[in-house]
Amino acid sequence: MEKKPVKIVETVLRDGHQSLAATRMRISDMLPVLEQLDDVGYYALEAWGGATFDACLRFLDEDPWERLRTLRKHVKKTKLQMLLRGQNILGYNHYADDVVKEFVNRSVDNGIDIIRIFDALNDVRNLECAMRATKDAGAHAQGAIVYTVSPYHKDDDFVKLAQDLVSMGADSIAIKDMAGLLRPYAAYNLVKTLKEKTTVPIEIHSHCTSGMASTTYLKAVEAGVDIMDTALSPFSRSTSQPCTESEVAMLEGTPWDTGLELQKLHDLADYFQEVKKNVGYDFNLNMDIPIDPKVLTFQIPGGMLSNLLNQMKEQGSADKYPDLLKEMPRVRAELGWPPLVTPTSQIVGSMAALNVTLGRYKMIPKQVKDLVRGKYGRTPAPIDPAIKKLCIGDEPQIDHRPADDIPPQMEAMKDKLAAAGFPNASIDDVLSYALFPDVALAYFNKHRG
């Protein structure tokens, strides 16, 4: 068999700590080993995007753009990768095209090489602008298939989505399995078909929430996957990715040998073990999250489970948590079987929580109404007619690209920021403000005053 080394994307600087440590790793925790990480020979370091942008401003008193520049300064050889939510950018609602384009440009200007772009509903219309902007900025555009399991999701749909993404200019395709639902043989079949029907590299990204991801990766490798996302051991497994050292050791001496040195990985793991201890202590985090194969039934992404339980504790309704796990799939079916990933996971989760605490659909949040209205895009299945009636009455659903209804926002954001006392704000600051106005203003008042 010919040699076909599998490439590794290291997620410890982003999804590893997002999944296990509520995105609380600071740039000061990363700095001492950035050169060492750069020296491993990874294909890329996933180090920005996702929830890191929000967490920097909201919890860590950091400027996310400054974090990116610092990463780039110390990581000279390895590509830097980020996660982008299509038209949602890194926020929780759709933004105008001019904000999406500017955000992508500034991400690339500040050091990003690869942008993984996904849409919670797998609606390609929500990916068009970000994909085009990434290509125009000269970066690698990776289109993501948000993997989920439902009566409305078949391999043919995922393959068609991948082909659409390639025709939009995707340089590679990621299978993004955020809840750990992808079973080993399903992965084998999906990767094999994607390799046959497309010509770009295929990357696999899964979480160990159900306990299957390592085996899933092995079957994906056997089917010809090109790249795997893994996390160094202290920030791996449970609701995070499979462990980098284990995956490298698993493929050693095979045609898929990654070529990475285990000793270098062990040294880095020792360092991040201390980081994990410090972050856990400083932010009072519980990072001992057990695997839970029941995720195959309730399908909630890892990070969200702990958040929902905490919210219910605060409301004094923690005893209803088992009811919530039963209610989630029911609400998901009624709302058109959306994949559960930001922001749809929060939308379905909050509706389910309200249903078990107040009674079914007694209180309906605006985001749920917007999802039903079509403001997030096309749901995989039709919305249950009775629920649709409860949410929006006889109002019509929109059937065009939702962002077509959003006029340009950049100039308005600059004006608002000027009115708030920052007339000479940099373009990066304007973008931070556009995504998270209140949190960004609090940060600017402290640091730019």
pLDDT, tens digit (0-9, with 9 covering 90-100), for 282-309 = 998 888 888 888 888 777 766 677 677 7
What is the Cα–Cα distance from 403 to 387, expressed in whole angstroms?
A: 24
Q: Range with the lowest mean pLDDT among 55-59, 131-135, 311-315, 408-412?
A: 311-315
The token pair at 89 is 């950018």
What pLDDT does residue 300 have? 72
Looking at residues 318-338, what average pLDDT do you find?
91
Question: Where is pLDDT greater, at 265 or 316?
Answer: 265
Amino acid of residue 142 = Q
Q: What is the mean pLDDT of the chain?
A: 94
Assess contact for 332 and 299: CB atoms under 8 A: yes
Nearest by Cα to 223 from 250, 246, 203:
203
Looking at residues 335-341, what average pLDDT do you find?
93
Q: If pLDDT is split at 50, 70 and 90, which confidence band does 310 have?
A: confident
Looking at residues 16-42, what average pLDDT do you find?
96
What pLDDT does residue 346 have? 86
Nearest by Cα to 375 from 328, 335, 331:
335
Assess contact for 247 and 217: CB atoms under 8 A: yes
The share of the chain scoring above pLDDT 90, in percent, equals 85
Q: Please state the separation of Cα 288 from the chain's center in Å.
A: 21
Looking at residues 46-75, what average pLDDT do you find?
97
What pLDDT does residue 306 have? 65
What pLDDT does residue 136 have? 98
Nearest by Cα to 43 from 140, 128, 162, 138:
140
Q: What CA–CA distances, in Å, run from 240 to 60, 177, 328, 432?
A: 21, 11, 22, 27
Q: What CA–CA distances, in Å, run from 241 to 179, 247, 337?
A: 11, 11, 25
Cα torsion angle, 435, 209, 354, 405, sign: positive
Query: Does 314 have pLDDT greater than 90?
Result: no
What pLDDT does residue 4 have? 95
What is the Cα–Cα distance from 31 to 71, expressed in whole angstroms?
A: 8
The share of the chain scoring above pLDDT 70, in percent, equals 99
What is the Cα–Cα distance from 79 to 294, expressed in whole angstroms?
A: 36
Query: Does 185 have pLDDT greater than 90?
Result: yes
Q: Could you write out the DSSP letters of every residue in 213-260?
A: HHHHHHHHHHTT--EEEEB-GGG-STTSPPBHHHHHHHHTTSTT----
What is the Cα–Cα distance from 45 to 32, expressed in whole angstroms?
A: 15
What pLDDT does residue 157 have? 95
Considering only CA atoms, give the Rg of the chain: 21
What pLDDT does residue 258 have? 98
Nearest by Cα to 435 from 12, 49, 16, 99:
99
Q: Could you write out the DSSP letters of every residue in 113-157?
A: -EEEE--TT--GGGTHHHHHHHHHTT-EEEEEEE---STT--HHH
Amino acid of residue 320 = K
What pLDDT does residue 302 have? 61
What is the Cα–Cα distance from 87 to 96, expressed in whole angstroms?
A: 8
What structural domains does the chain harbor?
Answer: 7-282 (3.20.20.70), 295-403 (1.10.472.90), 411-447 (no CATH)
Looking at residues 111-130, what average pLDDT do you find?
97
What pLDDT does residue 286 have? 81
